[in-house]
């Protein structure tokens, strides 16, 4: 497992321009709750729950058994569990997802496999409310 900001592991994966905050390498196994603010890439195995304020990248060798809550999720590996993306979910051609997904924007490349329900939500937007005593015609 490697950590560091200087390493640009997101090139070609559509990652965040902010760079990679953490990297769980192939052969690593983790279990529990993972929470982070920036971009994390997982090429190893993770079981539990993932919450992110930015981007989660599941590499081709990544295997996730978890419920995922993130702003953006890019999957090239395997995810078993529900995925909730508040901005965008991308399933690359090698992706294998077994679970329900919810996202305002869904990109599925030819070859990706998805077994579950899809719920398309609107992006978080500012709701306008009528104000008492507001403008009248």
Mean pLDDT of the chain: 83
**pTM confidence score:** 0.76
Rounded to an integer, what distance in angstroms lies between the CA atom of residue 93 and that of residue 76? 7
- 133 vs 92: which has the higher pLDDT: 92
pLDDT of residue 135: 59
Contact criterion met (CB below 8 Å) for 30 and 50: no
Contact criterion met (CB below 8 Å) for 85 and 103: yes
C-alpha to C-alpha distances, 119 to 99, 100, 115, 116, 122, nearest whole angstrom: 12, 8, 13, 10, 10
Nearest residue to 75 via CA among 98, 59, 61, 87: 59
Q: Tell me the backbone φ, ψ of residue 85, rounded to 5 degrees.
A: -110, 125
Q: How confident is the model at residue 130 (pLDDT cuts 50, 70, 90)?
A: low
pLDDT of residue 24: 85
**What value does the mean pLDDT take over residues 45-70?**
96
Q: Quick: pLDDT tens for 91-127.
A: 999 999 999 999 999 999 999 999 999 999 776 554 5
Contact criterion met (CB below 8 Å) for 119 and 101: yes
**What value does the mean pLDDT take over residues 6-30?**
61
Rounded to an integer, what distance in angstroms lies between the CA atom of residue 122 and that of residue 137? 31
pLDDT of residue 9: 39
Q: How confident is the model at residue 69 (pLDDT cuts 50, 70, 90)?
A: very high
Rounded to an integer, what distance in angstroms lies between the CA atom of residue 85 and that of residue 130? 30
């Amino acid at each position: 497992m490697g950590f560091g900001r200087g390493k640009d592991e997101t090139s070609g994966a559509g990652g965040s321009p902010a760079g990679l905050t953490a990297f769980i390498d192939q052969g690593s196994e983790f279990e529990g709750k993972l929470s982070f603010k920036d971009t994390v890439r997982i090429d190893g195995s993770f079981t539990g729950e993932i919450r992110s304020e930015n981007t989660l990248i599941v590499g081709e060798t990544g295997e996730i058994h978890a419920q995922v809550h993130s702003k953006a999720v890019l999957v090239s590996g395997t995810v078993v569990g529900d995925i909730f993306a508040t901005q965008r979910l991308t399933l690359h051609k090698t992706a294998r997802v077994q679970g329900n997904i919810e996202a305002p924007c869904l990109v599925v490349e030819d070859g990706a496999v998805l077994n579950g329900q899809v719920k398309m939500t609107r992006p978080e937007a500012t709701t306008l409310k009528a104000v008492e005593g507001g403008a009248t015609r």
